[in-house]
Amino acid sequence: MKADETGRLVSLSEVKNMLKKIEKERKELIYEQRIALEHAQKFAKLSVKQTKDLIKDLMKSENIGEAHAHKIADILPTSEDDVKAIFAKERVTPGESEIKNILKIVGKYYIE
């Protein structure tokens, strides 16, 4: 998850699309952009549309803000421990039922 030039949060799949577009326009990326594109290609498992839909579904939950929804969509946690790790630094962490709901929502969009 990164912020674009407008300061809006963007998902890893959006970053991948942005960098591919830049690569087509310029023919060559600078070193940092190449590394970022390689990372995005390796780890962005969903399309931009799927990612946006997943983020919308996640944000319907009470305790999930936009930043956490983006992080979850980028990581695509598959276990309760993965979800807990995302919220580890927060003062308020989701309860067991909310964690199961997060995993259920992620499971609708991504199956390993």
Task: Output the tens digit of pLDDT for each of the chain's 112 residues.
Answer: 555 556 788 999 999 999 999 888 887 888 999 999 999 999 899 999 999 999 999 999 878 889 999 999 999 999 999 999 999 888 878 889 999 999 999 999 877 6
pLDDT of 7 reads: 73
pTM across the whole model: 0.82
Residues 17 and 68 in one domain: no
Which residues sit opposite 9 in a β-bridge? 3
For residue 39, give both structure tokens. Answer: 């990372």
Within 44-90, residue ranges assigned H as helices are: 48-59, 66-75, 80-86
Domain total of the chain: 2
Residues 62 and 16 in one domain: no
Residues 20 and 60 in one domain: no
Residues 63 and 39 in one domain: no
Q: Are 96 and 84 in contact (CB under 8 A)?
A: no
Boundaries of domain holding 93: 48-109
Residues 71 and 105 in one domain: yes
Residues 70 and 102 in one domain: yes
